[in-house]
Structure 1
Amino acid sequence: MIKRTKLKKSKFFIAALTVLSIMSVNSFSASEKSSQKKNTEWKQITLEPDLDGDGIKDKIDVEYAEVGSNVYLKFTSYVFTEKAKFEKGKQVEKAITKSDFEEKFDNFVKGFIAEYPKKNGSSQSAVTEQPIETQDTNAEIPAPAVENKPEETSATINNKTDETDKKTVSQKKNTVNSEGNTENDKALDSLRESNMVKAQNTVLDNKNNDNLNNSAQNQNITSSYSYIKQYFGKRPENLTFNFGYDKHSPRDMDEFVFIKTATSIRKEPNSNAKVIKSATYSQKYKTTGIVKTNTGNKSDEWYEVFFDNQLGYIPKSAVEKREFDWNDMMEKVNRTNKFIKESIASNKKLYVLDNYVPLGGGKSGSHDKYGNRPNQSEYGYTDTSFKNHINIPDRTIMTVEKETDKYIQVRIEAYDNGIYYLKPSAKKYLKNTGITGEVTRFIYVDRASQNEMVIEKSGDGWNVVTSSFVTTGKDTGNSFATPYGTFLIAYSKPVMQYTGSDNKTVVGDARNAVRFSGGGYMHGIPSVFEPKNTRERRKAATAKKIGTYPESHKCIRHYDDQIKFIYDWLGNSSPGHSEGFRVPSVPTVMLVK
């Protein structure tokens, strides 16, 4: 019986790393298959490269079994056609000794992809840039729960998805794959891993847990050029990295650059130096610092990047500096919990603003000093004259300091631990959070870097459960930036369906929605239902934009499998809810930077 499982969990890898053999077998023999048939356990993984070069993910089913000192494999290709269906190709069989697995498995898969017939009529002599991914073939498809989505309309979505379909297929593919491995990660991993593990990591979900703060990304990588600024990526001492789900979690990418304009990576920091790699839009590279050019215009600045176990240089004008800011995350976590514990010690209840109304619940107006617009918010006035104010988004955590018949005085840690005044009419929106002690779960979203980190309390410290790139809200027209602040997660639901321009007809959906502020949800890849035959392609095109620039209408988009993990991790303290809502098993706070 074939068992579908991630290869990293199988006995196959343990054996492949520990058993040595000099036997070499190039094909299956009938006698071996017959004699071993009863004792052979076949397992399977699914890889997702772009086989035919059309910019859309295809599949390779890999069945494998250990027999003595050999590993037998069957490769079956499936190409995603214009009819939105997978077309099965021929099966190729291969046998590799465990001692040769390091080299031959890696080379065979690369060659299989490179030599596969491409739509332009050619095959590639080198491996395609599209990374290979492991896929969870047992993902659940939840039942829908209908709710209007205030920030999207049928017309808007159709326009965006049609445009997306045209652009994405023609673009070169991102070097960041759905496992979160980048070319940078592989290069740095090679400093501390055997060649066997490095070869397997090229195609399989077999990354080592990075439990140490001083991992390879913190090594002192320097060059001989004059640094304007260096990045060392010192992580918080009380933070561990025992990931619960790491398919999309980049390793050793705490400081990185995002390619915004196609450019060349050069051997030295000047435009005449040898080109060692082409960098295309949306690729991401670990950076070790900014250096001055070593020739010509001495004011030119270059980012020094580390990949493939070497240093290279990219002109500063072609990239954006981004980061996984673990230190800012922990600073906000500590400040939030200090505010909570001090409030409880002073016998002050913690409240949350709860004024969300689908397709409403807010005022029109301009941004406040924190960049928040009044949509699905309440005014928090700076004094009792009720003139100057900030916009307090739905689900913001606060304490009530004083209440009179003229105002409600509140303190909000997220907004400079400031005192603000609500009008008495807002009292009906203040709900008790039920928080009675330190919050043990946080989700941190960095809008500037388009990424997310999820942590939970572990002993006296904290542990990273998962991390990923995301897409946040775009601040334009009827779209809203994902609000800045500290929010108590309200609930989650299996599917978020949304309506068209008439606010009645359901036109599309997204999986595993988690409401954190107003109509702002964390959710999977959204798409309208029609036309059905292009839906999967449109979803794939939208997924490729994750980690680039804000594009949603307020929500935070995730890869479908990433949000499914978070959805399950949040748990459910309200089983049997009449609307299918799942309140998190413990209070969980979102921090939006």
Structure 2
Amino acid sequence: MYRKITLVMIGIIMVTVSSCAYRRDVPPEEEPDSRQQPTPSVEQPREDKLAKSEQEAVEENINGFEIEDDLRITEATDREEKNRISCLSQQQKIALLKNIGSKEMNTVLEQYEASLPEGLNDSIQYFEYDMDYDYFLITNEGGAEILENPVPDATVVARVENLDKVSLLQRLEGEVFEDSTIWYRVAFENGNEIKEGYLHSTEGTPRNFRFDRMQDAINELREQVAQGALHFISNYKYENGVPPQEGDAAVDEYGYRVYHSAPAYEQADTDSEFRYIPDGILVRILDETDELYHVNVPTFNGDFYVPKQYIDPEVTLSQLNHVIVVDRDQQNQASFELNENELNLVSYTLATTGIAGDFSFVTTLGSYKSIQKRERFEYLESGTQDIAGYAPFAIRFTGGAYIHGVPVAYEEQDGEQVDPGLIESLHTIGTFPRSNMCVRNFTSHAEFLYNWMDSVNGAVIVIE
């Protein structure tokens, strides 16, 4: 039984940090031998490697911000649970839009009538957080007031807190406020009652599930697999050798980490220019030399040369059955099942990705193999080798990055660490990046994915 923690916030909003050019010193626990060429490790059967990595299921701190901060934000909301405001379901919003009219004072600029794109079927199997495809995220630290009309002094219909989410109906022009005339007509559920009103554009930001872009990304990968089996880079925790490094940067100019990566050379020469290619990323072997594979990297849209120890030629993605697509920009995700020429939407929900920080990294873009599943793994306190907690229902797709449920920090009782039990939700999920590379889900959704995902014939795609 989950310890269910439901939503709100006291006043924190963060500005996400762009990852592409972010460079900093390598944290001590992942510092490789500077400027060395990779040394092949003693080759082991893949089954032995996976068994060993299962036993060593302890990762660096998976939280970009301390999980206690997220819990405090969430607990502040929990006090007002019976008065909580939430998004409508997609069905509720469709019904509302059928009867919606434009008030005389409104000039409607856009009506939010998103639907699934042609070729994508509604086959939803997860229903815990049923919400519509277009929503408005409150980002005003002090919360906001939903008004009866799009004018600053209108009657207040309801109050929403920072990081709350409400359904989007229309974008329109109303009376000027803070040098802008843009307002949003929104709807929400309070108890069993559906209400609507207006929020000024300065109170938050519109978000949506970009199913069309997700569909495009999957179709591109489907076409790649149809052309022949794909392989993937394997260098989890340097298991296949330490890559070369230039300088003291922990990431390259594209945001890819030294740790868990392999060198991708521009020419068939280990003295040539290279970039990092991360663990788990999908590649196609084109040719080979004695020491290198010539590969095409769909994510990089180019060809490179990778030392052979970083690719197991016996393990491939030759059939694509399940795909999870994470939208880093919108902080949401969806899972899809492929059946011959069909594409079925199995679930969609909010998600939280990684942020660049002193001990954390962004969730990097690309197409990755679903490498392995762990019912739980433990993580360390930042800058130490002390175990701080664990993450449940995890799917690893690159390095130490997983899609997983809400992290659980161990509690200390009588000098011993005690598991306080699973936590279902955090109010910060689906808002802004807060983790360390990992993709944080509601725990029930992570469990659903854990049981559903075909890790042999599955992939994870991260889009922007």
State the TM bucket, normalised to the shorter chain: 0.7 to 0.9
Pick from 208, 211, 225 the counterpart of residue 326 of structure 1: 211
Question: What is the RMSD of the two structures over their aligned residues, measured on CA atoms?
Answer: 4.0
Q: Deviations over 1:276-322 (max 9, x none)?
A: 11111121112133222235777421122133555422111221221
Q: Does 1:394 align with 2:279?
A: yes
Conservation of the 8 A alpha-carbon contact between 1:257 and 1:321:
yes
Taking the aligned partners of 1:401 and 1:554, their CA distance within structure 2 comes to 30
Pick from 145, 151, 168 the counterpart of residue 60 of structure 2: 151
Q: In structure 2, do the counterparts of structure 1 residues 149 and 317 end up closer, same or farther at CA, with 3 Å as the change threshold?
A: farther
Structure number having the greater helix percentage: 1
Q: Give, in angstroms, the shift of residue 457 of structure 1.
A: 2.1
Q: Which protein has the larger Cα radius of gyration, Structure 1 or Structure 2?
A: 1
Q: Deviations over 1:403-440 (max 9, x none)?
A: 3468643222223xx223235xx221112343334x12
SS at 2:222 equivalent: helix
Q: Does 1:550 align with 2:433?
A: yes
Q: Does 1:377 align with 2:256?
A: no
Q: In structure 2, do the counterparts of structure 1 residues 164 and 488 end up closer, same or farther at CA, with 3 Å as the change threshold?
A: closer
What are the ranges of 5 or more consecutive residues in structure 2 without an aligned counterpart?
Answer: 11-52
Q: Give, in angstroms, the shift of residue 483 of structure 1.
A: 1.5
Structure 1 length-normalised TM: 0.59
Q: Give, in angstroms, the shift of residue 338 of structure 1.
A: 0.9
Q: In structure 2, do the counterparts of structure 1 residues 537 and 512 end up closer, same or farther at CA, with 3 Å as the change threshold?
A: closer
Q: Does 1:292 align with 2:176?
A: no
Q: In structure 2, do the counterparts of structure 1 residues 511 and 538 end up closer, same or farther at CA, with 3 Å as the change threshold?
A: closer
Once the two structures are superposed, the pairs formed by residues 102-501 of structure 1 within 5 Å of their partners are 146-152=55-61, 160-171=66-77, 183-185=86-88, 189=91, 216=95, 221=100, 223-224=102-103, 225-248=106-129, 250-251=130-131, 253-261=132-140, 262-294=143-175, 299-307=180-188, 309-342=194-227, 344=228, 349-357=229-237, 365=249, 370-381=254-265, 389-404=274-289, 408-415=293-300, 418-423=301-306, 426-432=307-313, 433-437=315-319, 439-458=320-339, 460-500=341-381
Q: Does 1:518 align with 2:396?
A: no
Q: In structure 2, do the counterparts of structure 1 residues 388 and 291 end up closer, same or farther at CA, with 3 Å as the change threshold?
A: farther
Conservation of the 8 A alpha-carbon contact between 1:175 and 1:283:
no
Q: Deviations over 1:346-371 (max 9, x none)?
A: xxx52100111179966553655654
Once the two structures are superposed, the pairs formed by residues 7-156 of structure 1 within 5 Å of their partners are 146-152=55-61
What are the ranges of 5 or more consecutive residues in structure 1 without an aligned counterpart?
Answer: 1-44, 56-143, 192-214, 572-583
Taking the aligned partners of 1:313 and 1:411, their CA distance within structure 2 comes to 50
Conservation of the 8 A alpha-carbon contact between 2:70 and 2:428:
no
* AA partner of residue 147 (structure 1): E
Q: Give, in angstroms, the shift of residue 469 of structure 1.
A: 1.7
* AA partner of residue 60 (structure 2): E
Taking only the aligned residue pairs, the percentage that are identical comes to: 23
Q: Which moved more, 1:358-367 or 1:286-295?
A: 358-367
Q: In structure 2, do the counterparts of structure 1 residues 397 and 164 end up closer, same or farther at CA, with 3 Å as the change threshold?
A: closer
Structure 2 length-normalised TM: 0.74
Q: In structure 2, do the counterparts of structure 1 residues 145 and 532 end up closer, same or farther at CA, with 3 Å as the change threshold?
A: farther
SS at 2:363 equivalent: coil
Taking the aligned partners of 1:334 and 1:557, their CA distance within structure 2 comes to 25
**Across the two proteins, how many residue pairs are aligned to each other?**
403
Q: In structure 2, do the counterparts of structure 1 residues 298 and 479 end up closer, same or farther at CA, with 3 Å as the change threshold?
A: closer
Q: Give, in angstroms, the shift of residue 473 of structure 1.
A: 1.4
* AA partner of residue 184 (structure 1): C
Q: Which residue of 2 aligns with 1:568?
A: 451
Taking the aligned partners of 1:519 and 1:591, their CA distance within structure 2 comes to 16
Q: Give, in angstroms, the shift of residue 324 of structure 1.
A: 1.2
SS at 1:391 equivalent: strand
Q: Give, in angstroms, the shift of residue 397 of structure 1.
A: 0.6
Q: Which residue of 1 aligns with 2:39?
A: none
Once the two structures are superposed, the pairs formed by residues 519-534 of structure 1 within 5 Å of their partners are 519-532=400-413
Structure number having the greater strand percentage: 2
Q: Give, in angstroms, the shift of residue 184 of structure 1.
A: 3.4
